[in-house]
Structure 1
Amino acid sequence: MRENILAIRLDDDEWNRISDMAGSVSLPMSSYVRSFILTQRPPKPRASGVTVEAVAALNRIGALLNQIARVGNSSKTFSAAEVGRVTAARERILEIATDLTGD
């Protein structure tokens, strides 16, 4: 739990600039400033717009692949090679999602 407070005084221009920077990465000002101070670099922008939709679509595909693998494993209808291909596809989807979000 955060109990310590760091207070600084800003003029209107400084306040607006920090507010705009925090808004550009969809963070509250306190989170933005804390991250910036502790890492000595600004946080990466969060995914937005088309990127959010792309990540959601990739996550749905990943979930479907998991279901396919689960059914194949439980029914013993998949060969080891097929399970390997589904696993590789899932891992690639997760890599793409990570690249899109910048994490």
Structure 2
Amino acid sequence: MRQNVLKIYLSDAEWDHVVGMAESVSMPMSGFARTFLVTQKPPRPKASGVTVEAVAALNRCGAFLNQFARVACRSQTLSPAEIREVTAAREHLLAIAEQLTGDRP
């Protein structure tokens, strides 16, 4: 648990600059400042070429699809054709993820 506090004063221009830097990597100010101070390098975005929000949305879609498929298979409420459609949708999401990250699970 972090218990120590560092308090600094910034001009409006400095504040705006730091806020912009944190927003550019989709990080909260505290996490950005801590990482920058400790590593002496600005944090890099977790996903290059796309926004972090897009990757998070894709992850949520994939998680929902996996949960849906598991429940449907357990309860056997989907027809074989519907299961094939869910599987195809999952494969499509994995293809998009591969384009975003360059690898496939």
Q: How high is the TM-score relative to the length of structure 1?
A: 0.50
- The structure whose RCO (Cα within 8 Å, separation 6+) is larger is 1
Q: How high is the TM-score relative to the length of structure 2?
A: 0.49
